[in-house]
Structure 1
């Protein structure tokens, strides 16, 4: 029945794509990429912001790329799953599966907000639009290290940039796919690039997904429209407009509970919330407009603006985390639960402009990038809550909203009435200017000097306490780097940078926090041998101050916990082995730890210097192999991969750890007829019991068991 609904709901975009796309489809692995000095360059006619005219080997920074082919091979449909392929990125608390949260090089952002990321260079991840779908993504870039002098306002560990599929001017092609997966999940996607006139092209992208989960009572529905329109305004000017309209509906799910370190306290499929709370709904509507103009082959202009609105609404029943209110610790089966109601509304607007130039002063070549941007973010949160009373009052099961974890009976009690907890509007307005000059001193030696100046205003209007707080500040963030080409395939580099990120929100008294400030240093070696071998080996150390954590005793507020440090080594390689076997290898060893002695106010745990940061594994590896071949005269492809994630802290300030795990996967595809491909994947091949992340031993997110996917993809 679910598949029938899927087919009916998806027929319109599939028919539209089929009718509109009349030319032969271009293979996503060959049509969009060309090889140039060991660097993949996407040929869409759209220039990347903050990048300038550089080959990857010339940039004093480690950059990991997850290409469209890799996403397609693994039938990846979520950004979270895509980021698993880069070992420098680790999963964090996802607010019951309703937002994206991750750390790069051991550092995550604000626990009370989704992790920020960029979409075509624009801030796009801080809202509440649900977990990002992979539809419409051309590639994922993990921009690691000290880049804040250019990007500004980011985490020192790095920034994720999503490069979306853009309208390809003057061409007509398309694809459509339908797939079925385990847990009664069905999905369709369509992507049609239509040359309307000689200078105007529309790329229409849409998806719909409906399905269940390995978790009891959990279903979901997702859909989105992501069109892109391109217009040539003469030979040297291009205008691009991108639209985003998405919706996610699913229950809020905090996962399982763990007593006395026993990860088998309850089965991994047991839902401990309340189905009567029904779904959370996350919506997003976004716009991007970009104009690029080439004055000559050495000077260019890029101007853009974006606006994005998101809304998250819903109620949930979550395990109480404070021991003095949690009956489970007394009898091992009676789970006391809060009930929470959320209306989270956000609005973000960005404008930016940059000029890239290339000129000489005597024997020195300068490649400069000069620009400015303005960012405004409004975060409006209404949070209401019922909380179980302290155990010292001897509450009954009704008063504690109790669920028997060994024999759950849902709907046993009326849903508790929630009351106002916080009602707050946070506003951040920031303006930055930046300049960068990369100077070629010789054919082999380049230095990069740059800096960014930011001025920002933060305000918080607490409509429950009638307290208004405001803070204005400014900061200069310098950046420096050096690149030395030892020989044609080998380049050495080093970089240093400072950065900051404004801490949105206040403590419970209404005080706005000092911004996070960071210092980063890294050094490495890059190899660029075309398709045969390319990659980066990096050593790094990052330090940051004014780190915040959630205040569990006062939901929605934060507390300062001091300083933190992350250091480690990374290796990212890709290439081709003998026998035409393609390989991808990503490895990271990360030592991320607290550097201050503080008492965690959420649970009264002592945090000491050297304590590990939550959800950061010490070792992570991802390896993938694939090979193209002919089967009965038709193109075919087969491959597989393995991911290892080391043990990691599952709760701040305690010895609760999540165990390490190994996940294996297989994938393959075969051309059945011209422009028609059958594909399939098996994720978690050996059905490993694993844990994606944890915030507290009462909120542990179990990983997905073995999952099969099979689908058909047609090209036109």
Structure 2
């Protein structure tokens, strides 16, 4: 998501169901349907079994809950979903969400480059920005998008990427899809824990700890605490990041029909890198002096600051009435406070070797409250089996922001001076924003033999009130919208599942709309999205090997388009995304973890006649990791991957259209369980990984607006190696 330096509206998405998150991380052994079996393992029987079993192992990679808000097997889900497990994240040693999703079809990662701009998780899904949910609840952006939560990946149990419109269950959302994160919570183990220490290039240091177990002898009360202390310099000179995070949780109720989980988190980022980039001329396009180095820093170290404090508390309550009906409710309150100031290049040169710069500063504070409640049950009507769900959710935000903007001294790129006096920026914006959203939704999954039909419908009401304290004006919005989804899937007994689905979405947007030159003005209506998707899924019977292929057509209508020289907009924009995706995933499969992905997409903005800015034409990736099961090297795991990104559109520059060239980079990982070396080393393990193994020099993305004279690019992540040692019990 591009965070404009011009104020934009609050992009809100409705709260997701609790099944997306850790409270429902109950699991059972995978029960794939064997060819010729007379008693297929259905979604209904798996769901009932899951409710009765203890929490012990992590949920299988062949189960996902984000598409239907239930633990439906992926092979029976009529929508594209990618699951990234904790094991896969550990194997690849991911440090942030951008790194976690790099091997996913349909993702355009690292919109701010892989080595800088890491304070936010910014990527596009099927050409559109994707909202993030944590433990089933929306992580709300601030009105200007600077006070945004970032979840440290060390506290995550899994990541699910739901592709395509999801408003029928989640409300306000992107037509490209959403990302659902699940926290680690207490399991049924009496005592467990791990401590890992990591060091690496760019002065990386990291210590992660995760402990849990029973508080009472019978396991009625359980706990889990995980935390991290970490820091690293970025690949840009004079910049770096530091973080402290701790997440305690307690679960009451043991294995009974009623459970309550209280989950807290406090995260402090005293610094978090820079948000700048490099000018297009000198990075993507050769300048008169050649190219700027990859460690070029456009800011001022004495002025640079990004400080974020984030505290949150979540409750999760589940009650099972009987084998057929259950109730769940959950909610979260979080408080985010940021202080941000930076000097950044303005995207153009004032002379051959001198770069124009500007200064910006903001202080933001948001209070966010989110709830979601639902009833779920199973009923029969003749030969039909229904998995039904009825829910209500509510979300509100109170946000304040004071922003400053001004000029900054020019920077000589050959002899940069990072200790210049920076003039105090002038007041720019001063806003208070209050927003409220409520939604009701329902879903019915109908099973008849091997045919599964799913229908979902939802109504949303959204209200926003913004006060401009500088000009003493107010802006109000109160749209409502009905969205729906319908799908059909047939699950053959030999493992093949063809499906088709249609789904819709909506997103509130901010702006003044006029079609008569300003004689009548109103606030903008939401943009609307719709998608038609068809595909095939195949799960090899008796294994976790899952193959998926899907084709899709997305349209986003009612998009705001500026009316020249008026200051108003018209709701005439149309963006459409067409593509094909293929993914293969197996974990484990004969001691092999395998992920392969290919996507081809075309994202077009009809208002400009060009592709959507920062949208790529597709990607391809392959990652494989094999662990030796026996012999002298038993316990040794090794593997690697390749990530290919097709060219992407970066906007319009002074010389014409900006196209970022395709690139391919390679990664490698190795792990070893030291118990196989000596029984006295039980619980100890070591590992290492390298991203961009061959240190390829490439531009990851560009963002160019020639009409404003702003032309930015972002270098990709340089070679980055790290090693770790850990102990678990």
SS in 2 for 1:402: strand
Partner of 1:158: 177
Q: In structure 1, the residue corresponding to 2:615 is in which secondary structure?
A: coil
Rounded to whole Å, the distance in 2 between the matches of 1:670 and 1:317 is: 45
Q: Which of 183, 191, 194 pairs up with 2:210?
A: 191
**C-alpha displacement of 1:247:** 1.7
Query: What CA distance in whole angstroms lies between the structure 1 residues aligned with 2:727 and 2:697?
Result: 35
Judge conservation of contact 2:107–2:619 (CA < 8 Å) in 1: no
Q: Which of residues 134, 152, 159 is equivalent to 1:119?
A: 134
Equivalence map 1:72-471=2 (5 Å) = 72-91=90-109, 93-94=111-112, 96-108=117-129, 116-127=131-142, 128-129=147-148, 131-169=150-188, 171-197=190-216, 198-232=219-253, 235-248=256-269, 249-259=271-281, 261-262=284-285, 265-321=291-347, 326=348, 328=349, 330-387=350-407, 401-412=409-420, 414-440=421-447, 442-471=448-477
Segments of structure 1 that go 5 or more residues without pairing to the other structure are: 1-29, 109-114, 388-399, 597-606
- Paired position in structure 2 for 1:689: 697
C-alpha separation in 2, matches of 1:368 and 1:665: 44
Displacement after TM superposition at 1:655 (Å): 0.9
1:500 aligns with 506
RMSD of aligned C-alpha atoms?
3.0
Q: Could you give the per-residue CA deviations for residues 333-374 of structure 1, whole angstroms, max 9, x where no partner exists?
A: 211111111112222211111111111011111111110101
Distance 2:588 2:395 in 1: 46
Are the counterparts in 1 of residues 54 and 188 from structure 2 also a CA contact under 8 Å?
Answer: no
- Matched-pair contact (CA < 8 Å) for 2:26–2:55: no
Specify the SS of the correspondent of 1:73. helix
SS at match of 2:211: strand
Q: Is the 8 A contact 2:452 2:488 kept in 1?
A: yes
Question: Is contact 1:460–1:506 with CA below 8 Å preserved after alignment?
Answer: no
8 Å CA contact retained: 2:140, 2:368: no
| Alignment correspondent of 1:112 | none
Structure 1 position 53, deviation (Å): 4.8
Residue of structure 2 in register with 1:37 after alignment: 32
**Which residue does the alignment assign to 2:661?**
659
* Post-superposition CA distance 1:404-424 (Å, at most 9, x none): 122212223x21121111111
TM-score when normalising by structure 2: 0.83
The answer to whether residue 644 in structure 2 is matched with residue 644 in structure 1 is yes
On the 8 A contact 2:546/2:586 being kept in 1, the answer is yes
Shift of 1:205: 0.3
Deviation at 1:297, TM superposition (A): 1.5
1:587 to 598, 601, 617: 598
Q: Is residue 168–residue 230 contact of structure 1 (8 Å, CA) maintained in 2?
A: no
2: distance between equivalents of 1:232 and 1:447? 35
Is the CA contact 1:37–1:55 (under 8 Å) kept in the aligned structure 2? no
CA distance in 1, matches of 2:171, 2:500: 20
- CA distance in 2 between partners of 1:571 and 1:625 (Å): 16
Show the 5 A alignment for 1:522-601: 522-529=533-540, 530-531=542-543, 533-547=545-559, 562-575=573-586, 580-596=591-607
* 8 A Cα contact 1:587 1:621, kept in partner: yes
Gaps of 5+ in 2: 1-24, 34-42, 675-680, 705-709
Paired residues in the alignment total: 647
Q: Give the Å deviation of 1:694.
A: 2.7
